[in-house]
Amino acid sequence: MGSDKTTSDLAGVFHVARRAVEDARTQVDQALREVHEEVAGAREQVALLQEVVRTVTDVDTIKALADPTRLAILRALTRDGLPKSAKELAEDLDQPQTKLYRHLKVLQEAGLIEPAETRVVSGIVETKYRAMQSQVSINPAENLDETREAMFNVIAGSLNDYRDRMLRSVEFDKPEADEEAAKKRGILINLSATISVERADDFQRRLEDLITEFDEFPRDPDGVRVEGLVSWFRPRMPEAAQAPAPGAESA
């Protein structure tokens, strides 16, 4: 009789344990479904983000972009489309975290970034931000005089930031003995020539097509990270050089 009771008690324990395992499995399955839904939603947002190109024309937004740190924040947020906190951005940009809050506020007020999610970490509310566009195109034509200084700072900030990043990569990169392998690590080419207007127009169109192709590449977290800066300009001759010399006959 004692043996039957012991067997019954063990069966009851096994039954309870089995129910607990089944409940835990159900909870895990539910959690996995929620995670999959969140990942799918994030991927959808990234896909939609990759299609958004914003053209900035107003003075205030152009001035908001006239800072190398804010440009670096936007680049970091649009690189893979994933939201990042001030702490993550500070690690990415090698900047003090406290320095970034003011810049994040300016970018948010300009409508260039927005809060994506918040969570409590060690009793502190942490906000993650995402860019509201995949690419920013600046067109100061409507306010040339008011944005001249800001545009100068945008260009200077972009060039200086890219220079620093490339030199940092060269400093810590391991030299490649093979020429083709070295090219894949990075190249720097300075172009300068006098060519026909037609050829210049055609080359610029093809260059713009390549940039568009790059922008449309799907982001791959497991792929290779690349950095680039495309610059193309046609310098104007000084007015003194364009004017005919005194006494020269006009054609």
User: Higher model confidence: residue 48 or residue 171?
Assistant: 171
d(CA 70, CA 93): 11
Residue 36, exposed/middle/buried by CB under 10 A (0-12, 13-18, 19+)?
exposed
Tell me the average pLDDT of the chain.
82
The percent of residues above 90 in pLDDT, for the chain, comes to 43
Backbone phi and psi for residue 129, each to the nearest 5 degrees, phi listed first: -115, 150
* 189 has a pLDDT exceeding 50: yes
pLDDT for 82 equals 86
Question: What's the pLDDT score for residue 61?
Answer: 94
Residue found by looking up tokens 């004017």 in the block: 243
Q: What is the pLDDT of residues 123-166, one digit of tens each?
A: 888 999 999 988 888 999 999 999 999 999 999 988 988 998 88
Cα atoms found within 13 Å of the Cα of residue 110, Cβ hemisphere only: 27
**Domain residue limits, the chain:** 15-49, 52-242
pLDDT tens digits, 16-55: 667 776 777 777 667 666 655 554 454 444 444 446 788 9
Q: In terms of C-beta distances under 8 Å and separation of at least 24 residues, what long-range contacts does 146-153 make, across chains too? A: 146/59, 147/59, 147/62, 147/63, 149/66, 150/59, 150/62, 150/63, 150/65, 150/66, 151/62, 151/66, 153/66, 153/67
Pick among 2.60.220.10, 2.40.50.140, 1.10.10.10, 3.30.365.10: CATH of 52-242: 1.10.10.10
Give the rounded percent of residues in the chain with a pLDDT score beyond 70. 78
pLDDT-based confidence at 206, cuts 50/70/90?
very high
Tokens representing 123 are 């009793």
- Tell me the C-alpha distance between 74 and 100, whole Å: 12
186: alpha, beta or left? (left if phi > 0; alpha if psi -120 to 50): left
Closest residue by Cα to residue 137 from 199, 30, 56, 76: 56
Lowest-pLDDT choice from 18-27, 45-54, 200-209, 233-242: 45-54
